[in-house]
């Protein structure tokens, strides 16, 4: 049976948050979201339920529902809270540095909160803080002679690179953890029989050269920033900015 929602369906979550009802013993939507983030950080997003959060807060589930009408609202509040870590300082100027700072911070935030990758569509959750972060990036591109479509495409290209790169990094870390492998060297040792067979077929000479000569296999931060600079260089060249 679906849980009855207490909030009117035509009232935005953010309107309710910004004009909340009188708090009950310090219980607020933001506090509920903070606890939910802590649970997700420790145990993954699947562990986040309204009942679990109410238990952590020491309140009845219906008390939590007075502030958060369901898991969709809770997810939005969690994403908004975490997105505060993405706010770009005022002293960062220039489109390239603004977008680069956003990208590096997003990777850092995702590694601190890997459950973000598990969400169905975190990029499309509309929240005030996510909108403010996007606005900051778009504003850095404004006034450079780009039309609205080009500005948005440049912004989304960087965001898409960041999402894909961090998703791969988190997935690899989860794969290693599931197998009990604590380092890149250990992972390569465990996978060596399969890799050696494939490389010894002679069908992958460039990959073989990489395997024997690469020195940054375990430096994901370098790889991320190298790829990011390639993306930014491409935007600069394509848009002549």
What's the pLDDT at 126? 85
What's the pLDDT at 7? 45
The Cα angle at residue 78 between residues 6 and 93, in degrees rounded to 5: 130
Q: What is the mean pLDDT of residues 117-129?
A: 75
CATH number at residue 148: 1.10.357.10
CATH number at residue 76: 1.10.10.60
Do residues 102 and 161 make contact, with C-beta atoms less than 8 angstroms apart? no
How many domains is the chain partitioned into structurally?
2
CA distances for 206 relative to 54, 209, 214, 217, 224, angstroms:
55, 5, 11, 15, 21
- pLDDT band (50, 70, 90) for residue 22: low
Q: Is residue 195 part of a domain?
A: no
Q: Is residue 158 part of a domain?
A: yes
How far apart are the C-alpha atoms of 107 and 233, rounded to whole Å? 19
User: Are both 150 and 63 inside the same structural domain?
Assistant: no
Q: Is residue 208 part of a domain?
A: no
User: Are both 168 and 109 inside the same structural domain?
Assistant: yes
Q: Is residue 8 part of a domain?
A: no
Do residues 130 and 82 make contact, with C-beta atoms less than 8 angstroms apart? no
Do residues 37 and 100 make contact, with C-beta atoms less than 8 angstroms apart? no
User: Are both 107 and 22 inside the same structural domain?
Assistant: no
Q: Is residue 109 part of a domain?
A: yes
How far apart are the C-alpha atoms of 78 and 27, rounded to whole Å? 15
> Does residue 231 carry a pLDDT above 60?
yes
Largest CA distance in the chain: 71
> Does residue 117 carry a pLDDT above 90?
no
Do residues 94 and 236 make contact, with C-beta atoms less than 8 angstroms apart? no
Do residues 158 and 102 make contact, with C-beta atoms less than 8 angstroms apart? yes
**Segment 131-164, tens digit of pLDDT:** 999 999 999 999 999 999 999 999 999 999 999 9
User: Are both 139 and 26 inside the same structural domain?
Assistant: no
Nearest to 81 by CA among 109, 119, 48: 109
Q: Is residue 133 part of a domain?
A: yes
User: Are both 96 and 78 inside the same structural domain?
Assistant: no
What's the pLDDT at 121? 58
User: Are both 96 and 68 inside the same structural domain?
Assistant: no
User: Are both 138 and 27 inside the same structural domain?
Assistant: no
Q: Which of 62, 82, 102 is where one domain is finished? A: 82
Q: Which of 82, 112, 130 is where one domain is finished? A: 82
Nearest to 14 by CA among 72, 73, 62, 71: 73
User: Are both 61 and 100 inside the same structural domain?
Assistant: no
Q: Is residue 205 part of a domain?
A: no
Q: Which of 34, 57, 82 is where one domain is finished? A: 82
User: Are both 77 and 129 inside the same structural domain?
Assistant: no
User: Are both 53 and 170 inside the same structural domain?
Assistant: no
Q: Is residue 212 part of a domain?
A: no
Q: 37 lies in which domain range?
A: 13-82
User: Are both 231 and 170 inside the same structural domain?
Assistant: yes
**What spatial distance separates the first Cα and last Cα of the chain, rounded to whole Å?**
55
What's the pLDDT at 208? 97
Whole-number percent of the chain with pLDDT over 90? 76
User: Are both 127 and 222 inside the same structural domain?
Assistant: yes
């Amino acid at each position: 049976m679906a849980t009855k929602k207490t909030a009117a369906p035509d009232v935005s979550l953010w309107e309710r948050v910004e004009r909340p009802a009188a708090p009950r013993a310090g219980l607020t939507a933001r506090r509920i979201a903070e606890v939910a983030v802590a649970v997700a950080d420790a145990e993954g997003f699947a562990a986040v339920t309204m009942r679990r959060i109410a238990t952590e807060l020491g309140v009845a589930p219906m008390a939590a529902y007075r502030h958060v009408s369901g898991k969709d609202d809770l997810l939005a509040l969690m994403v908004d809270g975490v997105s505060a870590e993405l706010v770009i300082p005022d002293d960062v100027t220039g489109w390239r540095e603004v977008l680069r700072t956003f990208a590096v911070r997003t990777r850092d935030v995702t590694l601190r909160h890997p459950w973000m990758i598990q969400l169905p569509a975190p990029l499309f959750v509309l929240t005030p803080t996510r909108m403010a972060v996007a606005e900051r990036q778009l504003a850095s591109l404004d006034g450079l002679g780009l039309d609205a479509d080009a500005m948005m495409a440049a912004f989304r290209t960087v965001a898409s690179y960041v999402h894909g790169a961090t998703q791969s990094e988190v997935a690899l870390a989860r794969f290693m953890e599931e197998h009990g492998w604590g380092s890149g060297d250990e992972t390569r040792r465990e996978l060596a029989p399969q890799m050696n067979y494939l490389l010894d077929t002679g069908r992958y000479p460039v990959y073989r050269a990489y395997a024997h000569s690469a020195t940054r296999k375990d430096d994901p931060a370098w790889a991320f920033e190298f790829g990011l600079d390639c993306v930014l260089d491409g935007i600069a060249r394509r848009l002549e900015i």
